[in-house]
Amino acid sequence: MVNPGAFRGSRKEFLMGEKAAYSAGMTGGYGVDALTLIQRRYFKRYPVDLPHHEEPTAEHLAAVDDDAPEPEPEEPNPETMTNEECEAATKELDRRQTILKFRKAVSCSCLLLMVIANTR
């Protein structure tokens, strides 16, 4: 059985649409910048809190503003939270960071593989 890949639906369409920008970045010597921009745009459309198997709504995708600044995540504040609330908030931030790192690594690998496949 063939592996269907990590990305499906609009996620796959988005990444496939970014192949040329990624390839140009790699060829032009600014691959890291190109990848950073692609990932920033990706996470605006597909937030970390959106399960990977769930598609965003058309309204969400239409409302994405690539030029808008990213909101800073709120740090747990021990002065206004109980110990339990602060611990739970810290665990949630750690969970989101772990997911973010994993998804960035996977998207980077997928873009690289797509570009390599197109050069053969």
Could you list the pLDDT tens digit for every one of the 120 residues in the chain? 555 666 788 988 998 899 899 889 989 999 889 988 998 999 899 988 888 889 999 999 999 999 999 888 788 888 888 889 989 989 988 988 888 888 777 766 666 666 555 555
Integer-rounded Cα Rg, in Å, for the chain is 17
Provide the pLDDT for residue 48. 85
Residue 45 tokens read as 């459309």
Q: Is 51 left (phi over 0), alpha (psi -120 to 50) or beta?
A: beta
Provide the pLDDT for residue 58. 93
Q: How far apart are CA 7 and CA 9, in angstroms?
A: 7
Provide the pLDDT for residue 46. 92
